[in-house]
Structure 1
Amino acid sequence: MSTPQPSWGRSSGEVADLNLAPRPADHTDEDIDFGESGLGPTGRPLRQVPEPPLVAEHGPARILALCNQKGGVGKTTSTINLGAALAEFGRRVLLVDFDPQGALSVGLGIQPHHLDRTIYNVLMERDTTVEETVLRTCVPDMDLLPSNIDLSAAEVQLISEVGREQTLGRTLRPVIDNYDYILIDCQPSLGLLTVNALAAAHGVLIPLECEFFSLRGVALLIDTIEKVRERLNPDLEITGILATMYDPRTLHSREVMARVVEAFGEIVFDTVINRTVRFPETTVAGEPITSWAPRSGGAKAYRALAREVIAR
């Protein structure tokens, strides 16, 4: 059952429309096939994930930071499509673009450099509120707190602030009861902005490209997560590791997958995101794969991921 939209926030229709790509035919290519063995791409038996229960009321939100200091591993793609899949299951979702590149905003059809207010203004200006900065997206029950290059200045300006690591958490506090999930798309670094995201979050979702160099960098990320847990946010936990850009045809992808499962065990999601041409298309279209190609393997994978996230 759909839930009413919040009364605040500007419509993304107020900004330029980037929907330039032709909509694909509704077909079932790239469907997930686990075979008759019941084993998923992780090599483990698939765990039973219950059907997400209906929610009678919304909030307080569970905050998840999608974090990896390596770029190009699928953080932004996963933030958009996981958020859209959670919204399909009746959850109200806020996406936070916490990267000065503004890729999350662009991926939802918004041109960041045309915006008068972004998360930078909310962080640094006392008279700018979250409520007046949030934008509606093309997905019902999914809103966006946008970003642009201005955010790069915040990292320098926050250095002299008291409690600088908790700034994002204080910023999100007024709207935490309006949502079921807040997903933070972090920049590809372990600087002050990422530490802010980790300090505000209840959990960390780590997108991990099935490639050797991506695997090497996870140890440094987990060390940072542990330091934040010890010094700033004792409730922080790793919600899960999401294998992305997986190509089952290559020995390298399969070897990396085996190493990931061996190293991290049960925190690795059963859901795996395969390489597909659909994801670049959705960026041009400015909408999630769940609405752009709803029967594709990528859409089904993110719905499966949403079920796992809700179950955890």
Structure 2
Amino acid sequence: MFHVKHQGEDQGFQRVVAVANQKGGVGKTTTVMNLGAALATFEQKVLVIDLDPQSNCSSGLGWSRQDAPTSYHVLEGLVPLMDAVVPSSFPGLDLLPASPDLVGAEVELLAQEDRALCLAQALKASPPPHHWVLIDCPPSLGILTVNALAAAQSVLIPIQCEYFALEGVSELMRTLERVRAAWNPNLAIEGVVLTLYDERLSLANQVVEEVRRFFADDVFSTVVPRNVRLAEAPSFGRTILEYDIKSRGAQAYLSLARELLERRLAHETRRAG
């Protein structure tokens, strides 16, 4: 088993990762849910923050309450972050749920001077005792995604193995540069994960080659396949590891988690040396 040294509950989290791509349908929410669960199987305490008004990540992790505080209340400063965190059905995986109210937050935050730093301030004021904090961003580069990027140490970019896969990536890169310049100079790319891969299609293999040329060593070796079981699991409020651990989708996310931990361990070792 991997084990990343825990800083202790009074010292907060170790790694905050925004999972972002302004294109929809690239497997962003699927990656947040199932990478989070896979990391938890490697004895990592994981918090998923849902910042998407569609709240698919929340429902996919089994959350359905309507009267509980959500990420909207946290961004508005109405509730401390950890007071809104709830356990998911998967051991070691917690959730800060979202609701459609976040659409209002996008408008309301624009009136605040420090509108891009609301999530960063909430994390600092109420630090989670987790090894990993994964932020599910909406499919846009609006104020909610900017909040995630300003609060994160790194960004994980899912890219689907389909036509126009790299469309809009240059815009995302420009947004990362703006966030670095204005709020978060140390924001790094955690990696790029290829999703929705269908080995039967020559186009998919061409996309893999193109993305690897563009991002080079930032691309994870693990490729997440197009998998019916992955698509079915959220409708049951479950991660793929609960729904069908033997499926190709489950095995891909376990492999991705292992690779992510190996990369992080190698990076920390280099820093320490």
Structure 2 length normalisation: TM-score?
Answer: 0.91
Residue identity opposite 1:92 in structure 2: K
Q: 1:60 aligns with which of 13, 18, 36?
A: 13
Cα distance between partner residues in 1 of 2:257 and 2:202: 28
Deviation at 1:290? Answer: 1.3
1:299 aligns with 2:250: yes
1:102 aligns with 2:59: no
1:228 aligns with 2:160: no
Q: Structure 1 stretch 83-92 or stretch 220-229: which is displaced more?
A: 220-229
* 8 Å CA contact 1:55, 1:91 repeated in 2: no
- How do 1:5-84 and structure 2 match up within 5 A? 52-53=2-3, 55=5, 58=8, 59-84=12-37
- How do 1:84-233 and structure 2 match up within 5 A? 84-111=37-64, 114-126=66-78, 128-233=79-184
Cα distance between partner residues in 2 of 1:257 and 1:181: 27
The answer to which structure, 1 or 2, has the higher relative contact order (CA under 8 A, 6+ apart) is 1
- How do 1:240-255 and structure 2 match up within 5 A? 240-255=191-206
Residue identity opposite 1:244 in structure 2: T
Deviations 1:150-208 (A, max 9, x none): 01111111112121111111112244350100000000000111111000000100000
2:159 partner SS: strand
Cα distance between partner residues in 2 of 1:183 and 1:131: 15
Identity percentage over the alignment? Answer: 44
2:167 partner SS: helix
2:139 partner SS: coil
Deviation at 1:225? Answer: 0.8
Q: Structure 1 stretch 80-89 or stretch 219-228: which is displaced more?
A: 219-228
Q: Structure 1 stretch 58-67 or stretch 280-289: which is displaced more?
A: 58-67
* 8 Å CA contact 1:61, 1:177 repeated in 2: no
Cα distance between partner residues in 1 of 2:155 and 2:235: 28
Taking only aligned residues, the RMSD between alpha carbons, in angstroms, comes to 1.5
Cα distance between partner residues in 2 of 1:160 and 1:284: 36
Residue identity opposite 1:122 in structure 2: V
Deviation at 1:262? Answer: 1.0
- The number of residue pairs the alignment matches comes to 260
* 8 Å CA contact 1:92, 1:142 repeated in 2: yes
Larger Rg: 1
Partner of 2:267: none
Structure 2: 5+ residue stretches without partners: 265-273
Deviation at 1:54? Answer: 5.8
Deviation at 1:83? Answer: 0.4
1:205 partner SS: strand
1:258 partner SS: helix
Structure 1: 5+ residue stretches without partners: 1-50
> For the structure 1 residues 203 and 125, does the alpha-carbon distance in structure 2 shift closer, same or farther, using more than 3 Å as the test?
closer
Residue identity opposite 2:230 in structure 1: F
Deviation at 1:63? Answer: 0.3
Structure 1 length normalisation: TM-score?
Answer: 0.80
Deviation at 1:221? Answer: 0.7
* 8 Å CA contact 1:61, 1:176 repeated in 2: no
Deviation at 1:56? Answer: 5.8
Deviation at 1:295? Answer: 1.8
Cα distance between partner residues in 1 of 2:223 and 2:114: 38
Q: 1:281 aligns with which of 226, 232, 235?
A: 232
1:216 partner SS: coil
1:101 partner SS: coil
1:213 partner SS: coil
Deviation at 1:131? Answer: 2.3
1:99 partner SS: coil
